[in-house]
Structures are given as structure tokens and as C-alpha cells.
Amino acid sequence: MSDRARHIPEATVARLPVYLRSLAELVDEKIPTVSSERLAEMAGVNAAKVRKDLSYLGSYGTRGVGYDVEYLLFQMSRELGLTHDWPVAIVGAGNLGSALANYGGFTQRGFPVAALFDSDKAKVGQTIHGVEVHHTDDIAPLAKELKVGIGVIATPASAAQDAADKLVQAGVGSILNFAPTVIAVPDGVSLRKVDLALELQILSFYQEHRDLDS
């Protein structure tokens, strides 16, 4: 590990939360150490990959023994930025937006809903799960003031790009898009998507071909 110059590969980053969850389970079970093999089994990947992934974080294992569960959990939380809260802004106070705001596990996992936005003036002023709904025109000043780092887009597809633009303008660096459409963000802004229809269609492909090829 070249000290500090370490750039963690994207594929690894995407797996870290899975390891984290496995480690949390092990802590619950009061298991003090874990081998890469056991962790691999829990995370549903191969052991070599676990070792390589963890090696990007530093040399936290002990040969012949394994990894200290609590210590690794702490290091990983730190690396993932989970040692402090990340206030989240949700754009779109419709079905999905409200459901997300009402979902407690959100706040509980360190992502408190700091603000809700909607373009419908009838919704502005309402309170959902203790959070007031503001107008989308106020995203920039409010999100800045509340130090929102992560924005969630829960609007219809047609409003998604506009929501993204406003979040970016507010200095939000990470966006999670639930709208079934492709949105563009400038370099340096992280973007991930959750798209139900897309997932089903991908499964449909494999299902169809399983049938054809059999």
C-alpha cells in the first residue's frame, strides 16, 4: 500500500458497505475476529477479493488470525465517512418522496432528512415526518445553509434534470436519482440511480433467454 496515494477502485467502494453490514452482524454476535474466507461467504464474494479490497484501506489484518472485527468496522466506517451525519435533501414530496421522508431508518443510519422540496405550491408549507416542504426555487439557499451534501431526486422524470441542476447549484456533491430518466451532472459530482423498471427489464432479458436457450 503506497501510503496515502491510495486510490480506491470504484468496484471496491461499492462493496465496502456490504462488508460493513457483515461486520455489524459479527459485532452483534460478539465474534471478535473474522477471516477473509468467512467474511467473503457473508458478503457473497470470493475471499481473494475481500483481502484485496480490505488491503486498500490499509493493512488491518493479522496473518494466521484474521481481522479484528471491531477495529475493522471502525476503520471502514471512517473511510466511508459514516462517523458523522450527512444531511440529505429530498426533492419531490409525492408518494416516493414522502415515503422516504417517513422512513425512519434513513435518519437512524446517519442520513437525516434536512429538507424536502416540491414545485407544487399546494404542498409547500406542509410538514412530513417533522420536516417542512419548501419550494424547489429555494433549493440553492436552503441546501447551502443546511450543509446538505447529498440530494435525493424523487420527482417525476420530467422534473429530474431541473432538480439535479438546482441541487448542483446548491453545492450538493452527491445525488441519488430515483426518477426513471438519465440525468447529467458536471464532473466531480457523484451520481447513482435506483430504477425499478430498469432492474425488472434486465431480469426479463435473462428470463427470456433462459427460456429460449433451454
Partner DNA sequence: GCTCGCTTGTGAACATGCGCACTAGCGTTC
Partner DNA sequence: GAACGCTAGTGCGCATGTTCACAAGCGAGC
Residues that bind DNA (CB under 7 A): 1, 9-12, 34-37, 45-49, 51-52, 54-55, 59-67
Looking at the Cβ atoms of 19 and 67, the one nearer to DNA is 67
**Contacts made by residues 191-194, CB under 8 angstroms, sequence distance 24+:** 191/164
Task: Tell me the torsion sign for CA atoms 120, 175, 107, 99.
Answer: positive
36 binds, among DNA, its own copies, none (CB under 5 to 8 A by kind): DNA
21 is a site residue for its own copies (CB under 8 A): yes
Smallest gap, in angstroms, from Cβ of residue 180 to DNA?
Answer: 20
200 is a site residue for its own copies (CB under 8 A): yes
Give the count of beta carbons closer than 10 Å to the beta carbon of residue 156.
13
Binds its own copies by CB under 8 A, chosen from 66, 87, 112, 173: 173
Stretch that binds its own copies, among 30-38, 54-62, 163-171, 194-202 (CB under 8 A): 194-202
99 is a site residue for its own copies (CB under 8 A): yes
Locus of grid cell 471512517: 78
Smallest gap, in angstroms, from Cβ of residue 6 to DNA?
Answer: 10
Run of H or E residues at 115 = strand 113-118
Taking the C-alpha atoms of residue 3 and residue 58, their distance in angstroms, rounded to an integer, is 9
3-state secondary structure of 91: strand
Query: In this structure, what C-alpha cell is assigned to residue 128?
Result: 412530513
Taking the C-alpha atoms of residue 116 and residue 53, their distance in angstroms, rounded to an integer, is 36
Interaction site with its own copies (CB under 8 A): 13-14, 16-18, 20-22, 42-44, 79-82, 86, 88, 95, 99, 105-106, 109-111, 149-150, 173-176, 180-184, 188, 190, 192, 194, 196-210
